[in-house]
Structure 1
């Protein structure tokens, strides 16, 4: 085994041990956690572009607690939001769009992060044309799936016939690459930077498609928003301040990830450089989200596009903006 692969396996082992240790002290979908009056916020394990909930408590009003609930994928966060098991969530835009299209009681409150994706592969794969006949990993139902298929088509490759697409969980991408089960993958951090540290390289940008770098949003349960509007407003305020704090102190952001999830610091520093944190819902951003919804229909992720006039609850963010 060469050194890059030994390093990759070592980093994966550390990450798995860290996550295993966290399950005893952080709330999970199967444990209610401590404070029954806490605002419950869902996010994903170990992904740097969904780390904002860990900064929110420092901006919480007095006597307000934010409880972090960890999930393995964005559809599970969306389902927990729809059921009311959690109040708020940081998750992939496609999952929220799917919930809105299905008329579930979930709405987008703010943007959260662009980027955090990468299209990487073996050193001998120098151009998209070299992918013909190769196995490519992707997470089904994600913005990365849309970006992958649009990128392949833009380079004259049919996603259905010219390559072999392999659906993998985010946490499995780097290990599948190291084991030779895929030759390349288009997925999210941290897997992208772990693979790059082990010798993979960027084949082509993941962002040169009509959806751009659109990726992560901050969403809420409709009943919570209606019945606890003041707490929802305070949480949106805390979220926007958390995003701004992370943007202003990237070292603290990276250190938080290392401390919370046991990630490798060198890999973490690379990963966060691939992420653009944000919270505004400007017209340009809404246009990209609408394009993402159209592409989800085109690629059979959705039967019909959601009503984008019903997708957002902007009044909470507007209150935040007016007060800053």
Structure 2
């Protein structure tokens, strides 16, 4: 089985600027052609295998719907573009959706996308979370990887603020900082862990043995779009489900697609994909894990406002897909 993917249009990276010229009060996808084709814009991150789904949408799209992929640098950028109406959907980190909800923004997760994609990685010779005591550990402040690191340290009786030296670093700097000896270990998201592992680093501990589990990436939109055009939302969720299942069914084709799209080292991508679990279901376990994520984000003061998890996660569309499959 070969995973097919659309070519990103030449204007994709300009799509946000172009859409911003529309009325800020307008919501929903926009008719593009005289034949009434609806263009749906979907944001995702550059070069991330666990957010590859949108590149598969075009060949799986229902009749009358076209997808335009818009690439961003961070999940908060995607979330902001969604809630502002500059794009219709985003495949991005669930913590960004949680932050938006806590701030009173109109953001709703309508499907999961991928679990995992995190790692606690260290220099050669480290073994077990206890081995980090007294060492320098990189982490991206305000991320789910910070939460996973703190909870994993806590489970071993270590205080993240006193028993290790935490160093806030961008995701993209983790592997190079470890290779240069500026840090002894890090907790971060792919592709940092796999890049470091390919260079001789080791996995210190699993980041997934916490109440947050593997929860990471989701598909989200706005409540306004759900209310305005639920049929379109259902079509997008159905397409997303098909793309997610395609990735899960053929990891090699998924890896090959990522390499072809972004020019990333094949071995790094294949290692990263072993640490990612495509999923679309929003079940009881997923809801519980998002609840734990919300609780930890509040405890670390990453969010200030209340988050209604039941309102943040709208299972209507994945439930409908399950019922008709």
> Shorter chain as normaliser: what TM range?
0.7 to 0.9
- Cα deviation for residue 126 of structure 1 reads 2.2
Distance 2:239 2:181 in 1: 43
- Cα deviation for residue 304 of structure 1 reads 4.1
SS of the aligned residue for 1:232 comes to helix
Distance 1:319 1:253 in 2: 26
Distance 1:115 1:77 in 2: 19
Is the Cα–Cα contact under 8 Å of residues 103 and 304 in structure 2 kept in the other structure? no
* 1:148-173 deviation per Cα after TM superposition (whole angstroms, max 9, x unaligned): 01111112221112222222222222
Cα-Cα RMSD: 2.0
SS of the aligned residue for 1:119 comes to strand
Is the Cα–Cα contact under 8 Å of residues 44 and 71 in structure 2 kept in the other structure? yes
Is the Cα–Cα contact under 8 Å of residues 75 and 93 in structure 2 kept in the other structure? yes
2:312 corresponds in structure 1 to 311
Distance 1:294 1:116 in 2: 21
Distance 1:135 1:204 in 2: 16
2:115 corresponds in structure 1 to 114
- Cα deviation for residue 132 of structure 1 reads 2.3
Distance 1:168 1:30, change over 3 A: farther
1:89 corresponds in structure 2 to 90
**2:16 maps to 1:27:** no
Distance 1:278 1:66 in 2: 21
* 1:189-244 deviation per Cα after TM superposition (whole angstroms, max 9, x unaligned): 11111100101100011111111111111111222222222221111000000000
- Cα deviation for residue 64 of structure 1 reads 1.5
**2:245 maps to 1:244:** yes
Is the Cα–Cα contact under 8 Å of residues 9 and 68 in structure 2 kept in the other structure? no
Is the Cα–Cα contact under 8 Å of residues 95 and 141 in structure 1 kept in the other structure? no
Consecutive unaligned residues of structure 1, counting only runs of 5 or more, are 1-21
- Larger deviation, residues 110-119 vs 121-130: 121-130
- Cα deviation for residue 26 of structure 1 reads 4.0
Consecutive unaligned residues of structure 2, counting only runs of 5 or more, are 1-7, 20-29, 33-37
- Cα deviation for residue 268 of structure 1 reads 1.1
SS of the aligned residue for 1:236 comes to helix
1:279 corresponds in structure 2 to 280
* 1:70-128 deviation per Cα after TM superposition (whole angstroms, max 9, x unaligned): 11111111111111111111111111111112221110101111111111010132232
- Larger deviation, residues 44-53 vs 135-144: 135-144
Distance 1:28 1:157 in 2: 46
Distance 1:120 1:205, change over 3 A: same
Distance 1:129 1:321 in 2: 43
1:263 corresponds in structure 2 to 264
Q: Any residues of structure 2 matched to 1:166-245 within 5 Å, and which?
A: 166-245=167-246
* 1:266-287 deviation per Cα after TM superposition (whole angstroms, max 9, x unaligned): 1111110111111011111111
1:163 corresponds in structure 2 to 164
Is the Cα–Cα contact under 8 Å of residues 29 and 70 in structure 1 kept in the other structure? no
2:125 corresponds in structure 1 to 124
TM-score by length of 2: 0.88
SS of the aligned residue for 2:241 comes to helix
1:137 corresponds in structure 2 to 138
Is the Cα–Cα contact under 8 Å of residues 124 and 202 in structure 2 kept in the other structure? yes
Distance 1:166 1:70 in 2: 28
Distance 1:29 1:196 in 2: 36
SS of the aligned residue for 1:38 comes to strand
- Larger deviation, residues 126-135 vs 152-161: 126-135
